[in-house]
Structure 1
């Protein structure tokens, strides 16, 4: 049995881990839990603030603290961070920016692993953000937005013959921005995760190569 601790960028990723990925991994003997990355503390009232990747150094410190709290050899650690708006203090950030998307994320993940220096760590950075998964089958948005056929049809057309992981990370063209432009009342946490549930892991993995490689690696942890 392997326990897997996931540091999630925000509430959307945390909900995805809990509702979609963790039940799947449990069938492989890998038991996942998730928490949002630490963003700050109020020592006066002993309160932590979590959610939102503001600084690489803060994220690294939070992950390493969790590693110190759980030193079990049968425990593993991973992340689910968006490449979109990734903090520029990430190691090898400038070098990575000169590469294509898949090379870019590989350079960043390798640098992340080397910097954390723990063999139990499996870094994962989502190309380019969580909403890329929805573009695996955006027609499933109609489960949450029944009276928005025209808007959803525009997203379906946009996704045709397109690799969801290569939808770019521009401020107006990132996956979430495209969805918000079509569906102004789109809710990332409740609707976003529900739509991904409707799409299903199999379709997500067929359409998203980097995501599939990560899930496969996690499935194999208990072997």
Structure 2
């Protein structure tokens, strides 16, 4: 605990059934995300509690604040900044720091796709092809967000059994925060802002 902080994470509440069972993940609308974020903030009113998000820009619901304005821009970094600023203003709590991942979580895996071999040992050739994609783009955060070319779609095209929920997290841990921060500038800006708290 280099920064002497405790971290707790959870997925956004997306629905409840009649028996009060909660379902999280699979973000469907900004309104649901906002309600869950505000509930989360109310649960921990302390001045030393801070809150953040990690929403993928790819397939982000179009009802997010300033979404239409952001999508008219060509610079993906500016798109995320506009949406993050709009979410911050809408939630309106100084302890809340929104973050939108360019273009999705799997961009972080492209910081070092070789580490996929920890989960997928017999996929040397597909992993080499994924490494070639990074060599072409240099910055993994800029791998585009088309329906067949988004980072997760590219991984799935090479490794169909790729599991976003479990393998993605394990591979990112193997890559390590230092490498991800070095290769992914927007992610690094977010982590740096959190460290300053």
Structure 2-normalised TM-score? Answer: 0.96
Provide, for residues 119-145 of structure 1, a one-character-per-residue CA deviation record: whole Å limited to 9, x for no partner.
110000111101000100111111221
Larger RCO, structure (CA 8 Å, separation 6 or more): 1
Q: Which range moved further: 185-194 or 148-157?
A: 185-194
The normalised TM-score by structure 1 is 0.85
- State the match for 1:127 in structure 2: 102
Q: Give 1:1-223 correspondences, 5 Å limit.
A: 26-42=1-17, 44-99=18-73, 100-162=75-137, 163-221=139-197
**Inter-partner Cα distance in structure 1 for 2:178 and 2:92:** 32
Q: How many Å separate the matches in 1 of 2:9 and 2:174?
A: 21
Partners of 1:216 and 1:112 in 2: CA distance: 19
Identify which range, 144-153 or 115-124, moves more after superposition: 144-153
Work out the CA distance in 2 between the residues paired with 1:112 and 1:203. 28
Which runs of 5 or more residues in structure 2 are unaligned?
Answer: none
4+ runs deviating over 6 angstroms: none
Q: SS of the counterpart of 2:8?
A: strand
Structure 1 residues without counterparts, runs of 5 or longer: 1-25
* Aligned alpha-carbon RMSD (Å): 1.0
Kindly tell me the number of residue pairs found equivalent between the two proteins: 195
C-alpha distance in structure 2 between counterparts of 1:189 and 1:40, whole Å: 19
Asked if the contact 1:128–1:168 (Cα under 8 Å) also holds between the matched residues in 2, the reply is: yes
